[in-house]
Structure 1
Amino acid sequence: MLISRGTLPPSSGKGVKPNPTVHKNFTKWKTSWQPTDQTLAEPIIDRKRVEESLFAVQQRYRSLFENSTDGIFQITPDGYYIACNPSLARLYGYESANQFLSHVTGVGQYLHKDPQRRYQFLDLLHSKGLLEDFESQVYRQDGTLIWICESAWAIRDATGYILYYEGLVKDITKQKLTEAALQTAQAKLEAQSQELENVLKKLELAQEHLKQSEKMSTLGQLCAGVVHEINNPLNFICGNV
């Protein structure tokens, strides 16, 4: 038979005394639950700490992303730009990252003086997962050419699947101009050195000719003296005859 609230006889509550055994068991039961409550609270606290640490890391990364003097970009596995920092936008002559992302379509191959260079960059990145110091000539928004150096790496999930690529871009135009000037100066120096070497060879030949001429002159004088010595006795003999 089911017992409900209506089947119980009314009670005045008088004469009800607490059962010491029940009270003792309840106290033990309540005490036994206290560590469990603490145990349940610990994972919550740990998760909160992890979330706070993760948030702090994200904030530091965001600060580095926004304030880096180098250009930073993120592209899809297919090569489409999905994010960039202000420095990258300025490098290409744009006022903001949003302006750059709204103007650059596709994989950005038209930014390169040689469009195939962009595809080479993506092919190497796909095959290696990491690419360093890849140099290219690209156009800024105003049409001027600059040299850049790119490094990029894959960002993967826990299973190893590539989510996107992230990379750094540096403007190395001044470095390239300096290298070109040094190469020009080196070429001029080598040309001057070769010219000087040719002059020295000509001088050596002239000196050799001069020595030969001096030898011939000395030999001529010697022969003339010998002839003179020979002629004197002959003249004496002929005169006496």
Structure 2
Amino acid sequence: MKKTTKDNNQIQAKNSEHIQEILSQNLNIYRLIAENMYDAIYTLDTNVNFTFVNDVALKRSGYTRKWFIGRSFLNFVIPENKNMVQKSFKSVMMGKVVPAYELSYINSKGKSLWIEINATPLVDNGNIIGVLVVSRDITERKRNEEELKLYRNNLESLIEGRTAELRIANEQLQIEIAQHKKTEEALRSSEAYYRTIFHNTGTAIIIMEDDTTISLSNAECEKFVGYRASDLEGKRRAVEFVARQDLERILSYNELRRQDPEKAPRSYELKIVDRHGNVRDVLITIASIPHTNKTIASFLDITEQKKMEAALKASEEKYRNIFENAVEGIFQIGINGEILSANPSFSHLFGYKSPQEIMRAVKDIRYEIYADESQRNELRRLLDKQGFVRNFEVICRRKDGQRIWISVNIRAVKDNNSKFLFYEGTLVDITERKMIQDDLEKKSRSLEETNAALRVLLKQREEDKTDLEEKVLHNIKELVLPYIDKLRAGQQNRDTVIIDIVESNLNEILSPFIKSMASKYANFTPKEIQIADLMKKGKSTKEISTILNLSPRTIDIHRYNIRRKLNINKKKVNLQSYLLTLT
């Protein structure tokens, strides 16, 4: 009986050692999975305190493992996001599926980082004992999105001097997980722990045999290639999904990894093709599993980042062509007056052969290009006040010392925090236009002087005319009318009418009627003016014919012509009454 018990104990011991060996191997495999993941991993207890963090989390945050353990995860969260994080934690602890969400935090160096959080409950013997958190660094993606947004917002205006380059950080993940439990139960718990990570991380992960046959894959792989794990594991080779243009390179990497794993690249980009023929760009991180012929690989989809990179490149080429061939001078100036970038038109305008030459030669555009200090100060004042200036005209100095006039449009460029970056704008040569304007101004001044002289002459002429009229009127009154009085005193009866007419005409010369007729109706003949004057005085046709020694018929013809020239020939208007209104 004792022998049988001893044998049973030996068998149980061997079985236990065998199980521990298998669990230990599995633990090593899952530890390698964690070590080769792209993401940071940490676990939280039911009070949201850290119980485990991997090296990636330490490296990105800048804090030590001792600093993390026992500290609340909420210490990392900015105040406005704490409520959201607490709700998410409670939902996970209740076994609910919580979608991935994004957070920003400040690391130990004061740098702002963005992460994407995936949270999964940790289950032990059917009980939720905490939360497994997988966080992915999306800082570069956020930065790229901001850069693309900045390019789109500034398309009509001003041209970017450089293209933002997408850099995808590929960090080698090294995780050292101490074996906390030495018993078989601890090994089983560790295996379950890493299996949870493997199957619930947001990264596609596979384990491959020596010939790239897939021996293990997680759920994320189905999103990449369109096959479930049951259709991949042991049935398909990873190289079957590699795009044709990358296949030879990937096979050479695989062969190099067989010969010397240290010489083969651990991270690189390639294109894969899923079961539907869709092509996507991925970043792969791969490593050999020690003491086996297997390798573990994780995949990160960078298709959208590649598209953004291509869009940025195309945008840069488009606007670079506009920049290089624009007729206007285009420029970017630093805060100290240094030329950051310029197009050929800008350099040619100031007498330089190329943008490179003017950028080397001119150290401070404020003093070497702008020729007038007052204009320079006014430009700076306007920029400080309103941030932009349009059509500002200023005198500048060319390389050969020649002074030219330019019209400049310029604005201050600032970042999202309103911090000044540089000035940018356009300018055109308006020297010829200014010369034309100066010539026009000179001619205008000359015309004004001529007009002033003419006004003086016209005024003098009017004064002379008035003086002449006054002298004529004075002479008639003093030298003629007295003699009329003497004729009347010694007159015969037959001469009475003629003397009256002479006297009346002289008085009319002194009145405005005849002058008014002569000035307003230049088409009247002297005889018509004479007849109109007699009609105005109430003389009949017979009396007028006697006075002027003309026939009554001739007088009637003149009457008709007078009415026609006064535009009353078709109106029922008394001619004498109308002539009286012209006085």
TM-score (norm 1): 0.76
The CA deviation string for residues 47-79 of structure 1, in whole angstroms up to 9 with x for no partner, is 111111111111112111111111111111233
Does 1:166 pair with 2:353? Answer: no
Q: CA deviation at 1:126?
A: 3.2
The CA deviation string for residues 196-221 of structure 1, in whole angstroms up to 9 with x for no partner, is 11111111111111111111221112
Does 1:37 pair with 2:219? Answer: no
What is the distance in 2 between the residues matched to 1:115 and 1:34? 68
What is the distance in 2 between the residues matched to 1:32 and 1:97? 55
- Given that 2:324 and 2:344 are in contact with CA atoms closer than 8 Å, whether structure 1 keeps it comes out as yes
The CA deviation string for residues 150-186 of structure 1, in whole angstroms up to 9 with x for no partner, is 1112233343322211111111111111211222222
What is the distance in 2 between the residues matched to 1:38 and 1:115? 68
AA in 1 matched with 2:21: I
What is the distance in 2 between the residues matched to 1:213 and 1:33? 119
Query: Is the partner of 1:3 in helix, strand or coil?
Result: helix
Query: Is the partner of 2:407 in helix, strand or coil?
Result: strand
Q: State how many pairs are aligned.
A: 209
Of 392, 412, 434, 1:176 maps to 434
In the other structure, the counterpart of 1:3 is 21
In the other structure, the counterpart of 1:80 is 338
Does 1:152 pair with 2:410? Answer: yes
Of 422, 442, 458, 1:200 maps to 458
Query: Is the partner of 1:170 in helix, strand or coil?
Result: strand
Higher helix share: 1
Q: Return closer, same or farther for 1:33/1:141 CA change in 2, 3 Å cut-off.
A: closer
Q: CA deviation at 1:119?
A: 3.5
- Given that 1:76 and 1:165 are in contact with CA atoms closer than 8 Å, whether structure 2 keeps it comes out as yes
Query: Is the partner of 2:302 in helix, strand or coil?
Result: helix
What is the distance in 1 between the residues matched to 2:383 and 2:335? 9
Q: CA deviation at 1:90?
A: 0.9
Aligned-residue CA RMSD (Å): 2.8
* Structure 1 residue runs without a partner (length 5+): 5-28, 233-241
Q: Return closer, same or farther for 1:208/1:81 CA change in 2, 3 Å cut-off.
A: same
Q: Return closer, same or farther for 1:32/1:110 CA change in 2, 3 Å cut-off.
A: closer
Q: Return closer, same or farther for 1:36/1:48 CA change in 2, 3 Å cut-off.
A: same
What is the distance in 2 between the residues matched to 1:100 and 1:158? 31
AA in 2 matched with 1:37: F
Does 1:212 pair with 2:470? Answer: yes
Does 1:143 pair with 2:401? Answer: yes
What is the distance in 1 between the residues matched to 2:343 and 2:220? 53
- Given that 1:148 and 1:172 are in contact with CA atoms closer than 8 Å, whether structure 2 keeps it comes out as yes
**Which of 160-169 and 84-93 deviates more?**
160-169
In the other structure, the counterpart of 2:363 is 105
What is the distance in 2 between the residues matched to 1:129 and 1:184? 36
- Given that 2:336 and 2:364 are in contact with CA atoms closer than 8 Å, whether structure 1 keeps it comes out as no
Does 1:122 pair with 2:380? Answer: yes
Give percent identity, aligned residues only: 27
What is the distance in 2 between the residues matched to 1:109 and 1:65? 25
Higher Rg: 2
TM-score (norm 2): 0.33
* Structure 2 residue runs without a partner (length 5+): 1-16, 23-215, 227-271, 273-279, 282-300, 492-583
Of 178, 198, 221, 2:480 maps to 221
Query: Is the partner of 2:371 in helix, strand or coil?
Result: coil
Query: Is the partner of 1:108 in helix, strand or coil?
Result: helix
AA in 2 matched with 1:191: E
Query: Is the partner of 1:177 in helix, strand or coil?
Result: helix
